[in-house]
Amino acid sequence: MEKLASATLGGGCFWCLEAVYSRLDGVKSISPGYAGGKIKDPTYEQVCSGETDHAEVVQISFYPNKISYETLLEWFWRCHDPTTLNRQGGDVGTQYRSVIFFENEMQKSAAYESKNIAGKSGMYDDPIVTEISALPEFFSAEDYHHDYYSNNSNAGYCTYIIQPKLAKLNLE
C-alpha cells in the first residue's frame, strides 16, 4: 500500500486550485475547504463575510513517491499571484489570501525555501506576500464545492477564469 501525504494551500478561489491540482500525476484527491479562522465548522456564507478569518484552501492528498511536496509548491507559485494581498483577480477579501499551511517541520522548511526561491526567480515584479503558518483545523467545504470545475465547466466563473488558467498552465 502506497503511503499518502497531504498539503493544504490557499491561493484565491478553491475552485481554481482544485482544477489545477486535480490534473497533476500523483495527486489522489483534493478537498476544498476552509482553514486559518476563528470559528469551528464555518459555512461558505460565513467565510465569504470576511468575519471568520478563514481562507479558502484545498487539502491535497498525494503520493510522495510520484509527486513531491516541493513540486506541489512549484505549481502553487505558478497558478496564482502570490504578490497581491487578500485578493486574486476579482476575488477580494482575506478568504482569498495566499497561504501555505504546513503540517510538520519538513513542510515548514520546504515552504520557506520555496518562497525564497520564488521570490528570487524574477517571476514577479512585486514582493511575495504569501503567509506560511502551521495548519490549524481544516474544515471541508460544502458538497457543491467539490469537483466544482468538473461538474460546472460551462458556468461563467469556469469559462472566464478557470479555463484560461488551465490553458495558460498547459493543463487543459
CATH number, domain of 147, equals: 3.30.1060.10
Residue range of the domain that includes 157: 5-168
Task: Give the pLDDT of the chain (172 residues) as one tens digit per residue.
Answer: 689 999 999 999 999 999 999 999 999 999 999 999 999 999 999 999 999 999 999 999 999 999 999 999 999 999 999 999 999 989 999 999 999 999 999 999 999 999 999 999 999 999 999 999 999 999 999 999 999 999 999 999 999 999 999 999 999 8
- pTM for the full model? 0.96
The number of folded domains in the chain is 1
- Backbone φ and ψ for 3, nearest 5 degrees, come out as -80, 140
Q: Which residues are catalytic?
A: 13
Reading phi first (left if > 0) and then psi (alpha if -120 to 50, else beta), residue 158 is in: alpha
User: What does 51-117 look like in DSSP terms, one character per residue?
Assistant: -S--EEEEEEEE-TTTS-HHHHHHHHHHSS-TTSTTEETTEESGGG-EEEEESSHHHHHHHHHHHHH
